[in-house]
Amino acid sequence: MSDKLVLVLNGPNLNLLGKREPGIYGSTTLADIEASLQGRGQELGITVELRQSNHEGALVDGLHEAQERGAAAVILNAGAYTHTSVALLDAIRAITVPVIEVHLSNPHAREAFRHTSWIAPAAKGTIAGFGADSYLLALEASARL
């Protein structure tokens, strides 16, 4: 058993990865990402738990749970909530667990409303634009925290 836990939280519509706008998000599914993270997590001695919810409150609950369980880090792809959620910002600020914000695409290369992240000011860092590899890069970063 690993001594480090990393919780991976995925927001709205990420359950549709591989089908939804593959020109933007690629053909990799969330199950593919989870398998990749699990494999790399084993190599790094990290237990990886992945969750997805289309509901903002469930993501807030996941952040609180990470704190309660003593997680080493949270990897958060908040999807569209990135650009709207004060609740997620407040939840990240309320915990001491470092949160790494991830995005498959580069929000700054997209519509103007996506250029602002409400969660970035509270995140340890942001990794974006590398497709599914954004998650692996975040896992690597979490191993170094």
Locate 67 and state its tokens. Answer: 């704190």
For 126, phi then psi, to 5°, come to: -130, 135
Q: Catalytic site residue 103?
A: yes
DSSP 3-state of 85? coil
How would you label 3-41 residue by residue, b for 16+ Cβ within 10 Å and e otherwise? ebbbbbbbbbebbebbeeeeeebbebbbeebbebbeebb
> Crossing angle for the helix pair 30-44 and 133-144, nearest 10 degrees?
30
Q: Catalytic site residue 25?
A: yes
Angle at 125 (CA atoms; ends 139, 24), nearest 5 degrees: 75
Active-site residue (options: 55, 103, 115, 135): 103
Active-site residue (options: 25, 55, 115, 135): 25
Tell me the C-alpha distance between 41 and 8, whole Å: 12
Q: Return the active site residues.
A: 25, 103
